[in-house]
Amino acid sequence: MDPEEQKPPHRGLKKGLYVIPTAFTAANVGMGFLAVLYSIRGFQAIVTRPETASVFFNYAAVAIGLAILFDTLDGRVARMTRTATEIGVQFDSLADVLTFGIAPIALIFSWGIGSALNENSTEYAFGVFLLFMYLMCGAFRLARFNLQATRPRVLEEGSPKVDKKNFVGLPIPPAAGLLAAIVHFAPQPLSSYGEGYGRFYALLAMALIAVLGALMVSTIKYSSMKTVGWGRRSLYVVLLIAAAGMLVWLYSQYVLLALSVAYVSHGLIWYLFGRKSAKRNTAEAAH
């Protein structure tokens, strides 16, 4: 019998499915690459062409937003088609370091810290330090996630267990998404607001970067949204996604910022309410 006839049907199609998640991850890398380039071009145009700089910064922010979409799709497609591979997981993590670690750092530095603060000032040096720590926290967050996903039983005692419905610590894509949403909302370089306001806004951006870095390495739980779209209420989820997509198309500056703030803050709110409930239960048990 011909060896070709012995192959099971659709075997070639099955092999082709493995390329789809990788293609989305590659698109994620491409968006991160473009975000870095646009950030550099925007920083170069601040002095001579501030209006053009705003356009480049907005392009960089949009590229990061598209990267989040591609990053979400590659995981969902891999799970739906059952084509998840070990190399795909590692490739996705490396892509996240670039797109959601280095790209937002380049954007925030060019848009805010590098443009509004004096290079010889203490605030500037501290801002660069915070950007570096944001990158370190994001890389550590990804490394911890990979370790928990591949070897959940080998973790040290007391470490959080893997929960498919929740992430431990703020994932790096939403952290980068919030930074990109802020720039998309106000793409003008902070230096255009004047020395006083520019410095003030730059300090606020530095505080936000510090908070995001701390949330990424924390043990606060964030919803993974992996179960969204399945079950009896799938139709309602599709309608909700369609409505959200139209709102993003019409009012992207406001909707994307609101969604980013909502996701980043919901884990912290759950954590605070959980601690309050735990204290209340302890007090009631003591009485």
Residue 233 has pLDDT above 70, yes or no: no
Least confident span in 24-28, 219-223, 275-279, 280-284: 280-284
Pairwise CA distance, residues 103 & 63, whole Å: 9
**Is residue 48 classed as helix, strand or coil in its secondary structure?**
coil
The pLDDT tens digits of the residues spanning 99-136 come to 999 999 999 999 999 999 999 999 999 999 999 999 99
Q: What percent of the chain has pLDDT over 90?
A: 51
Q: Which pLDDT band holds residue 167 (cuts at 50, 70, 90)?
A: confident
Residue 154 has pLDDT above 50, yes or no: no
Mean pLDDT of the chain: 83
Residue 67 and residue 100 in contact, taking contact as beta carbons nearer than 8 Å: yes
Q: Where are the alpha helices (DSSP H) in the chain?
A: 3-6, 11-17, 19-44, 50-81, 86-97, 103-108, 114-116, 122-150, 172-185, 195-216, 234-250, 252-286
Average pLDDT over every residue of 276-281: 65
Average pLDDT over every residue of 181-190: 95
Residue 42 has pLDDT above 90, yes or no: yes
The per-residue pLDDT for 280 is 64
The per-residue pLDDT for 159 is 52
The per-residue pLDDT for 156 is 47
Using left for φ > 0, alpha for ψ between -120 and 50, and beta otherwise, residue 171 falls in beta
User: Which is higher by pLDDT, 233 or 89?
Assistant: 89
Q: At what angle do helices 252-286 and 172-185 cross, to 10 degrees?
A: 130
Pairwise CA distance, residues 226 & 217, whole Å: 21
Residue 36 and residue 72 in contact, taking contact as beta carbons nearer than 8 Å: no
Residue 205 and residue 152 in contact, taking contact as beta carbons nearer than 8 Å: no
Residue 180 has pLDDT above 70, yes or no: yes
Enumerate the domain spans of the chain: 10-286
Residue 107 and residue 180 in contact, taking contact as beta carbons nearer than 8 Å: yes
Pairwise CA distance, residues 260 & 251, whole Å: 14
**Would the CA dihedral through 52, 54, 55, 56 be positive or negative?**
positive
pTM for the model stands at 0.84
Residue 205 has pLDDT above 50, yes or no: yes
The pLDDT tens digits of the residues spanning 58-70 come to 999 999 999 999 9
Pairwise CA distance, residues 90 & 194, whole Å: 44
The pLDDT tens digits of the residues spanning 6-22 come to 555 445 555 556 677 78
Calculate the alpha carbon distances from 230 to 21, 53, 76, 226, 238 in Å: 20, 43, 12, 9, 10
The pLDDT tens digits of the residues spanning 255-274 come to 999 999 999 998 888 888 87
| Spacing of C-alpha 181 from chain mean position | 11
**β-pair partners for 222:** 167
Residue 3 has pLDDT above 60, yes or no: no
